[in-house]
Structure 1
Amino acid sequence: MAGIDIAVTGLGLVTPGGVGVEASWASVCGGRSPAALDPALTGNPVRISCRVPDFDPERLLNARRAHRLDRFVQFALVAAREAIADAGLDPATWDGARVGVVLGCADGGPGTVEQQHQVLREQGSDRVSPLLLPKQLPNMLAGQTAIEFGATGPNLVVATACASGATAIGTARDLLALNRCDVVLAGGSEAMITPLVMAGFAQMGALSKRQDDPATASRPFDADRDGFVAGEGAGILVMERVADARARRARIRGRIIGYGATADAHHITSPHPDGAGVEAAVRAALADAGADPEDVQHVNAHGTSTPLNDLAEARMIYRVLTGSPLVTSTKGVTGHLLGAAGAVEAAFSVLSVERETVPPTANLFLPDPRIDIKLAQNLSHMPIDLALSNSCGFGGQNTVLAIAPA
């Protein structure tokens, strides 16, 4: 399947920067994080989060529909609606059998599970909602999206932890290359900011404890980074074969020209110290794209703000990408969107290529002296012929997407 050109014709975003592509893009380009102390996490050891602001599901969806959906599905439907409109497609007229849905998430709907577990304990099993499973099962992310838009083609959810959204895009690329469908709604969505999930991350030591200044807590590649800030949201891409997009005179926002996926086979939570797994994914994506390491001009790094990940990834970039690409981590603004991160960052990479703009790495006050890569400390403008979007996850999951202009 090497050499297959896959077009991105539509983008939809729901992020801590705002609802919609333009609000989200303006936020990461502005370099200021909306992270704050979260009242829902009162009593937790770490109370910082990066929530989607002003998200009103009853307004954005109808009230009855919103009530039957967990937050992670609500995010996806709103983002997908924007992406479909952006692509100039109409679900009322498309051939649904040729439209696939491939979405990623790490956890499904833990908010619904925690809420209904409380009902079970306080009121008994006969008061548990019959919507418990339809709301929280991970596959409902793709299933509800198909129902909403009449997409009756291939329909699946992938779970590769924090690489899930990127893995979904790579899988969608394969489906298009194999002619299994003509259009795929691909991406990821996540709503894991709940007391139980965040307590688990805190007990692992994964979260930043900088609660006196939440807006600067996420510090990718900074010498003083101490963990990630949890975020939420969704990113959806409309993907088509380039020839099909051109035939219908669609605007092509960018192209997914390479995909690499590997496993570290090293540790359940820590990355390989040399970045061997993500290096293999980078080389696979470049081989798929027919490109060389020195061709890469920009990297949207996984860059979580954790001590081990940032160092391993940076050393890999220095060792492998010999053209000294400009590197950013948009997690400095958005926090870590977990299973949605790879999809949102792929969308940001498409925008970087399309608009010849690289967002800054927010909160990069003093770059780690052990890191010798070119970091975007300010908003930068430059032509980009080839960008990489790196994603990694617990279990040693690695996914890399190679992105080029239209």
Structure 2
Amino acid sequence: MASRGDVAVTGLGLVTPAGNDPETFHQTMSAGRSLASTDPSFAGLPVDFSCRVTDFDPAAELGDRLAGRLDRFAHLGLAAARRALADADLSLPLTGADRVAVVLGVGCNSLEHYVREFGRLHEDRPTKVSPLALARSVPNMVAGEIALDTGARGPNFTVSTACASGATAIGTARDLLLSGACDIVVTGGSESGISRMASTGFSQMRALSTWTDRPEHASRPFDTERNGFVLGEGAAVLVLERREHALARRARVRAWLRGYGASADAHHPTSPHPEGAGVEQAARAALADAGFSPRHIGHHNAHGTSTPAGDKAEAMAVLRLFDGTPPPVTAPKSILGHSLGAAGAIEAALSILALQHQQVPPTANLQQQDSGRELDVVTRTPRTLAHEHALSTSCGFGGQNAALVFSAA
């Protein structure tokens, strides 16, 4: 039963390695096979594979001129926003645009064109630096471009909590709606971390998997042989509406966003709290916000990056949260790789689809879990979902955590 704190999810737009529409995305994720493969753009680097979006042509979708002045993360985010608005049956230009907000999560500014422009400067060719270098690369531009594209004139900004950015954006959007500041929010996350600089930087940190001979087996959350994540990219955008607004326009409701929680580990710049205290705190806050206890949750979408320390800490947190008997868990990064600031939004979308289809998608590559920290991870094939509520958790550098609770419509 809906309450005053419920926010309706009325639209869903995707651009991901697993597909660019909800049904294709759900079917690919249900197959449970990793999409990682050798990446020619990484040739010569210590880690030469990734999870790329392949079925997407920015020029064909956005037009040559618009695509030419935007960077990859904005291409992905703008395309996903258009799809989400169409899915919500909202036509452009938007009516009531003063009451439509845009809140996007982006983990960092572009590492693609920015690096190229710095190279020109380093070569003492400042006049060759593109006049679009800054406007193309700053993180807030994806939210600004969505407003330009749709005419949305409400609050407009980007949030950055590293790899929790997409989830933080969705939670912040819910707060805007509940405050009465707007009626609709276009929200989610967009990121393309697939650049030589990103790969090199994460490789130097020893954060990436080094299974270069078997990239399809490299991302293996919660498996004893995990040794790092796989770089990915993508975008997911949700259309959120105040309950009354959605019902008044007779919108189809895909799910209800019931709760949001956030926290900081206050522990280390890049390593999680060793016992997962921060992500547990965020999850408990989200459950309290929804008016739920852990026993109400029938599915947990885990952050699950496939790093030794991260998965260990998260497993400990989940076992404490659910008093040793967690619900079925899925770790989408085993299939999609890690799309950084977009990951929390893509995984929120997957949580919604799991509720709609009443199936928990499987995790790829899991053979054996750490002794004493075994979760009920779904593997090989989807599992029937017996409950109506799902929890999705996200974590990021800086110790920033976010958790979202969704309910079936």
**TM-score of the two chains, using structure 1 as the length reference:** 0.97
Aligned to 1:28: 29
Aligned to 1:308: 309
Q: Secondary structure at the match of 2:329?
A: strand
CA distance in 2, matches of 1:220, 1:246: 39
Q: Secondary structure at the match of 1:238?
A: strand
Once the two structures are superposed, residues 140-174 of structure 1 have per-residue CA deviations (whole angstroms, 9 ceiling, x without a partner) of 01101110111110001000000000000000000
Note the C-alpha offset of 1:69.
0.4
CA distance in 2, matches of 1:348, 1:291: 21
Q: How does 1:336-355 map to 2 (within 5 A)?
A: 336-355=338-357
Once the two structures are superposed, residues 34-60 of structure 1 have per-residue CA deviations (whole angstroms, 9 ceiling, x without a partner) of 211111111211111110012211111
CA distance in 2, matches of 1:205, 1:402: 32
How many residues of Structure 1 are paired with residues of Structure 2 in the alignment? 405
CA contact under 8 A between 2:178 and 2:242: conserved in structure 1? yes
CA contact under 8 A between 1:384 and 1:404: conserved in structure 2? no
Q: How does 1:172-187 map to 2 (within 5 A)?
A: 172-187=173-188
Note the C-alpha offset of 1:320.
1.1
Q: Does 1:401 align with 2:404?
A: yes
Greater alpha carbon shift after TM alignment, 308-317 vs 64-73:
308-317
Distance 1:93 1:306, change over 3 A: closer
CA contact under 8 A between 2:106 and 2:160: conserved in structure 1? yes
Note the C-alpha offset of 1:355.
1.1
Note the C-alpha offset of 1:130.
0.4
Q: Secondary structure at the match of 2:112?
A: helix
Amino acid at match of 1:384: H
Note the C-alpha offset of 1:20.
2.3
CA distance in 1, matches of 2:313, 2:190: 26
CA distance in 2, matches of 1:75, 1:332: 21
Instruction: Give unpaired runs (5+ residues) of structure 2.
Output: none
**Structure 1 stretches of at least 4 aligned residues deviating more than 6 Å after TM superposition:** none
CA contact under 8 A between 2:298 and 2:385: conserved in structure 1? no
CA distance in 2, matches of 1:125, 1:320: 54
**Equivalent of 1:362 in 361, 364, 380:** 364
CA contact under 8 A between 1:50 and 1:335: conserved in structure 2? yes
CA distance in 1, matches of 2:45, 2:260: 38
Amino acid at match of 1:7: A
CA distance in 2, matches of 1:238, 1:108: 24
Alpha carbon RMSD of aligned pairs, Å?
1.2
CA distance in 1, matches of 2:146, 2:68: 15
Aligned to 1:273: 274
Note the C-alpha offset of 1:202.
0.3
Q: Secondary structure at the match of 1:375?
A: coil
Q: Does 1:53 align with 2:64?
A: no
Q: Does 1:320 align with 2:321?
A: yes
Note the C-alpha offset of 1:384.
2.7
Amino acid at match of 2:222: F
Aligned to 1:375: 377
Note the C-alpha offset of 1:123.
6.7
CA distance in 1, matches of 2:91, 2:378: 38
Q: Does 1:136 align with 2:137?
A: yes
Aligned to 1:297: 298
Q: Secondary structure at the match of 1:389?
A: strand
Note the C-alpha offset of 1:26.
1.7
CA contact under 8 A between 2:94 and 2:150: conserved in structure 1? no
Greater alpha carbon shift after TM alignment, 53-62 vs 200-209:
53-62
Q: Does 1:118 align with 2:87?
A: no
Greater alpha carbon shift after TM alignment, 83-92 vs 168-177:
83-92
Aligned to 1:224: 225
Distance 1:291 1:235, change over 3 A: same
CA distance in 2, matches of 1:54, 1:249: 33
Q: Secondary structure at the match of 1:118?
A: helix
Once the two structures are superposed, residues 181-203 of structure 1 have per-residue CA deviations (whole angstroms, 9 ceiling, x without a partner) of 10000000001211112111001
Aligned to 2:16: 15
Amino acid at match of 1:304: T
CA contact under 8 A between 1:102 and 1:171: conserved in structure 2? yes
CA distance in 1, matches of 2:119, 2:272: 35
CA distance in 2, matches of 1:297, 1:404: 10
Note the C-alpha offset of 1:23.
2.3
Q: Secondary structure at the match of 1:404?
A: strand
CA contact under 8 A between 2:94 and 2:151: conserved in structure 1? no
CA distance in 2, matches of 1:166, 1:76: 15
CA contact under 8 A between 1:315 and 1:372: conserved in structure 2? no
Aligned to 1:331: 333
